[in-house]
Amino acid sequence: SDEFRGLRALVTGGASGIGLATAELLAARGAAVACLDLDGAAVPAPLLGVTADVTDDPAVRAAVAEAAARLGGLDVLVNNAGIGAQGTVEDNPDDQWHRVLDVNVLGIVRVTRAALPHLRRSAHAAIVNTCSIAATAGLPRRALYGASKGAVLSLTLAMAADHLADGVRVNCVNPGTVDTPWVGRLLDAAPDPGAERAALAARQPTGRLVRPEEVAEAIAHLAGPRAGATTGTWLAVDGGMAGL
Ligand code: NAD
């Protein structure tokens, strides 16, 4: 498919996991793609890497400007950079709340603010935010992470309403448990990573983790011109978990 031929996309957190899979899929479908990450040099060619921490507003503005200049504009923004946190409200100190909300929520606000002037000039503008099943499910020990993703879901709906008249569609994906380096790091911290991985897979309705490429497919659908009538909604990619 060449659905994205002639379109220009920016993917945050694009050096790893869901972001990298998304960037590679959009590129395979014809887009020119830039990935914004903590270390833009870690982004494999032919993807264009730009460096910024999404908590650093001047760095975000510079990186988005660089991406837009080198790609010749922006049509698609995938706000995917995010970090995790585990614990109940008794476990996470205030500074950890500030940090996770700063990355997962304000990170989207900053990158979107910098990208909107470019997106408004596009005939096929779309934003897709990477949310989580944690936004709608009461997962144990995910008070902070769930709150951050709940905010991402609400932010997605609000942005969709605000930018409809600009021709900018805004949606999100809600992945379940995805086999990315992030989940790999959590498993590696267990005493027996192999057994932990098997147990995690067994807890999924489908008996396996979601693949990053499967989330990328959903993001690409929402980001593409063929989804022109879809805005202000979310798409779960969770192996059926939210529906059970
Ligand atoms: P990952 O750790 O493999 O990739 C995340 C990328 O984001 C990394 O390249 C990292 O450097 C980058 N990043 C982190 N903080 C950043 C910052 N402050 N500024 C710029 N870049 C930053 O993780 P992943 O599993 O691919 O997760 C991607 C997104 O998917 C996150 O928003 C996460 O919350 C969401 N998600 C993941 C899962 C899962 O099971 N893996 C499930 C639901 C939602």
Q: Per the domain annotation, does 95 fall within a domain?
A: yes
pLDDT average, residue stretch 48-52: 98
Whether the pLDDT of residue 223 is over 90: the answer is: yes
pLDDT average, residue stretch 99-124: 98
Ligand 1 mutation pick, 22, 35, 80, max ligand atoms within 8 A of CB = 80
Residue 151: what are its φ and ψ, rounded to 5°? -65, -40
Task: Domain count for the chain, please give it.
Answer: 2
- Does one domain contain both 120 and 200? no
Q: Which residues contact 159 (CB under 8 A, 6 or more apart)?
A: 112, 127, 170
54 lines ligand 1 (CB under 6 A): yes
Nearest CA to ligand 1 atom 2: 182
At residue 201, the pLDDT reads: 95
114 contacts 56 by C-beta, under 8 angstroms: no
Q: How many CA atoms lie less than 13 Å away from 54 in the CB half-sphere?
A: 29
Complex prediction ipTM: 0.99
Q: Per the domain annotation, does 149 fall within a domain?
A: yes
Phi-psi domain of 179 (left: phi exceeds 0; alpha: psi -120 through 50; beta: other): beta
In the three-class reduction of DSSP (H, G, I as helix; E, B as strand; rest coil), residue 147 is classed as helix
Catalytic residue, candidates 81, 145, 149, 160:
145
145 is catalytic: yes
Q: Per the domain annotation, does 144 fall within a domain?
A: yes
**Residue-wise pLDDT tens digits, 149-184:** 999 999 999 999 999 999 999 999 999 999 999 999
pLDDT average, residue stretch 19-25: 98
At residue 244, the pLDDT reads: 67
- Does one domain contain both 84 and 164? yes
49 contacts 27 by C-beta, under 8 angstroms: no
Two structure tokens written together for 156: 């997605």
Return the beta strands (E) in 155-196 as ranges. 168-175
Whether the pLDDT of residue 202 is over 90: the answer is: yes
CA of 12 to the centre of ligand 1 (A): 9
CA of 20 to the centre of ligand 1 (A): 10
224 contacts 161 by C-beta, under 8 angstroms: no
Query: 194 falls in which pLDDT band (50, 70, 90)?
Result: very high
169 contacts 234 by C-beta, under 8 angstroms: no
- Does one domain contain both 63 and 108? yes
CA of 165 to the centre of ligand 1 (A): 30
Residue 191: what are its φ and ψ, rounded to 5°? -60, -40
Closest ligand 1 atom, CA of 102?
Answer: 18
116 lines ligand 1 (CB under 6 A): no
CA of 166 to the centre of ligand 1 (A): 28
- Does one domain contain both 121 and 50? yes
Query: 1 falls in which pLDDT band (50, 70, 90)?
Result: confident
What's the mean pLDDT when you consider all of the chain?
97
Q: Per the domain annotation, does 241 fall within a domain?
A: no
Q: What is the CATH number of the domain that holds 133?
A: 3.40.50.720
pTM over cut 0.95: yes
51 lines ligand 1 (CB under 6 A): no
Alpha helices in 29-142 (DSSP H): 57-71, 94-101, 107-119
Dihedral sign for Cα atoms in the order 121, 59, 40, 103: negative
108 contacts 64 by C-beta, under 8 angstroms: no
What percent of the chain clears pLDDT 70, i.e. is strictly above it?
100
Q: Per the domain annotation, does 244 fall within a domain?
A: no
pLDDT top residue among 244 and 49: 49
86 contacts 141 by C-beta, under 8 angstroms: yes
136 lines ligand 1 (CB under 6 A): no
- Does one domain contain both 116 and 166? yes
Residue 204's domain comprises 179-209
Closest ligand 1 atom, CA of 215?
Answer: 30
